Amino acid sequence: MPIYMYEVVEEDGSGGEQFEVVQLMSETPLLEHPESGKPVRRVFMPPHIGGGKWSDRAMVNNMADDNKLDRLGFTKYVKSGDGKYEKEVGKGPDIISSD
């Protein structure tokens, strides 16, 4: 079931307190706050889409795969000390230093 966001409509027409309600898509939208009885309106929020090849989890998995990074032409450096990075995979200098 989807979760809908509602907000209380203040007397001047501005938005007030926001709250979430789990409702069936076939249910009519609320017109009043379930507890206070104040008028409310539904707030449209962007859908949350989890997963896919650009999700945070997928990116972490791809960056952890050294063979894949090398095959795609990337170079991966890992911090080894104060201002020093050592090459793990790819082309380029073996060490990058801030010196």
pLDDT in tens, 31-50: 999 999 999 999 988 776 66
Q: Is residue 24 part of a domain?
A: yes
* Position with higher pLDDT, 53 vs 13: 13
Q: Is residue 50 part of a domain?
A: no
What pLDDT is attached to residue 58? Answer: 75
**Mean pLDDT of all residues in the chain?**
87
CB atoms within 10 A of CB 40: 23
What pLDDT is attached to residue 41? Answer: 96
**Residues 35, 67 within the same domain:** no
Q: Is residue 38 part of a domain?
A: yes
Q: Is residue 52 part of a domain?
A: no
Q: Is residue 97 part of a domain?
A: no
User: Who contacts 17 (Cβ-Cβ below 8 Å, separation ≥6)?
Assistant: 7, 8, 33
**Residues 39, 7 within the same domain:** yes
**Confidence band (pLDDT; 50, 70, 90) for 1?**
confident
Q: Quick check: 81 pLDDT over 70?
A: yes
* Position with higher pLDDT, 26 vs 51: 26
User: In the chain, how many domains are there?
Assistant: 2
Measure the N-to-C terminal CA separation of the chain; round to a whole number of Å: 57
Domain with 71, as residue range(s), is 63-92
Q: Is residue 73 part of a domain?
A: yes
Q: Is residue 48 part of a domain?
A: no
Q: Is residue 49 part of a domain?
A: no
**Residues 7, 39 within the same domain:** yes
